Structure 1
């Protein structure tokens, strides 16, 4: 049974807004390489820049701002320096680490090859599971999502992700870490089904 929000009836993500260095290259990448329809374009008032929206499916959008005088990106702080498995994937508090586009598991291998055929450098396929390393080379019943990662022209880390199992109460089993590096005991595990 899917988890239910009893406070707000959210309907997914309306849009995620990022900042690009070159809107033309952004359009070429997202519309022409990834095939996302461009659904809305705006020139911002006062000649401040532009705001473009791309359809990512299910009524959700990915939006980009282009600001004439935006600061340059700082890899390793504002975004990961490297793809998972290839180097430092960490980014700073308040940053956006990566965007994962949900795809059908049956299309995963085809879409990965399609990226390569379009000249996109991609990470190795990561089959995420609950093992000690949390990844495996082989697809087995414990794999919950399959992933491949790549960068857009501005260094935004993107992921194609395919869920491979339905979650249940056993999948929520870790108490969260606090800023001081200690675990907040009981915040998760004390709830029903974990006591």
Structure 2
């Protein structure tokens, strides 16, 4: 929890606002101010299972660049995304890099096959979000993102949610 607290407070600039010591030494629950009334919460358990790269989060930082498999298991949390003010995404990326946080290149999510493009967002009307990705000290996967246009249900809700019947599970390794 110490390493996580340093990262979230010092690198991300989110102050620690509440700590809870769980009964009988079972762990800790810490809350960080993520802005706009939201919190980022972490648990620490003395008997926690080890990290599960490739199951609970993408395997390594090379997967941040989108060429690799970023699938994660059902019930895991792939990543957390925070909105940044319009026009400030590059500034946020520069700030994290100055704080020695490895960041992906900026990726432009778009309404195209594959879901993204790499050309500058202002040259492509299909772009919906511009983002970059980075990791926390225990492999957590984070995103800072900037919405590039307003959404409308008529234009942006075009796919029905998939169901359990649609799954094609991968074989276990």
Q: TM-score range by the shorter chain?
A: 0.7 to 0.9
Aligned pairs (5 A) from 1:6-155: 23-81=1-59, 82-136=63-117, 137-139=119-121, 140-155=124-139
Provide the aligned length of Structure 1 versus Structure 2. 160
Deviation at 1:133, TM superposition (A): 2.8
RMSD: 1.4
Q: 1:12-70: per-residue Cα shift (whole Å, max 9, x none)?
A: xxxxxxxxxxx110011000111001100111111111111000001000011110001
Distance, in Å, in 1 between the alignment partners of 2:79 and 2:132 is: 12
Q: Does 1:177 align with 2:162?
A: yes
- CA distances 1:63-113 after superposition (whole Å, capped 9, x unpaired): 111100010111111112132415221100111000001111211111111
Question: TM-score, normalization: structure 1?
Answer: 0.77
State the 4+ residue runs in structure 1 displaced beyond 6 angstroms. none
Give the secondary-structure state (helix, strand or coil) at the position aligned to 2:51: coil
- The structure number with the bigger radius of gyration is 1
Normalised to the residue count of structure 2, the TM-score between the two structures is 0.87
Greater shift in the superposed pair: 172-181 or 159-168: 172-181
1 or 2, which has the higher helix percentage? 2
For structure 1, the 5+ residue unaligned runs are 1-22, 183-195
- Using CA pairs under 8 Å that are at least 6 residues apart, name the structure with larger relative contact order, 1 or 2: 2
Q: Give the conservation status (yes or no) of the 8 Å contact 1:85–1:123.
A: no
Instruction: Tell me the distance in 2 between the aligned counterparts of 1:152 and 1:60.
Output: 18
